[in-house]
Amino acid sequence: MIWIVMILTGFANFAVRFSMFSVIRASTLPDWAERYLRYVPTAVLSAIIAAALFLDEAGEIQMWNTTVLAGVIAAIIAIFTRSVIFTIITGLGVLWIIG
């Protein structure tokens, strides 16, 4: 039974991903939908980063810990340098040093 579920899930996953690149998606979205969907990646990434910064291992909110400090320093570096690589290296370095 588990193999049937895994195979069907694989086919469904393939169908969803293939539909984005195939001829099926020949139509365009309305302007209002494209305007709102433009912000979806930013909102999703912000939610992932906020959860990684403010939630501890038990899932409880911690407003101040080492990851928040590393995140604040990385955000400051990102604002001033506009370099993704330098921001990641600095944030991880700070986290490793104080963690």
Q: Phi and psi for 64 in degrees, rounded to 5?
A: -145, 115
d(CA 93, CA 99): 10
pLDDT digits (tens, 9 = 90+) for 44-77: 999 999 998 898 888 888 888 888 999 999 999 9
Q: What is the pLDDT of residues 3-43, one digit of tens each?
A: 999 999 999 999 888 877 766 555 677 889 888 889 999 99
DSSP state of 23: G
What pTM did the predictor assign?
0.60
Are 99 and 66 contacting, i.e. CB atoms less than 8 angstroms apart?
yes
Q: Could you tell me if 93 and 71 are in contact, meaning their C-beta atoms sit under 8 angstroms apart?
A: no
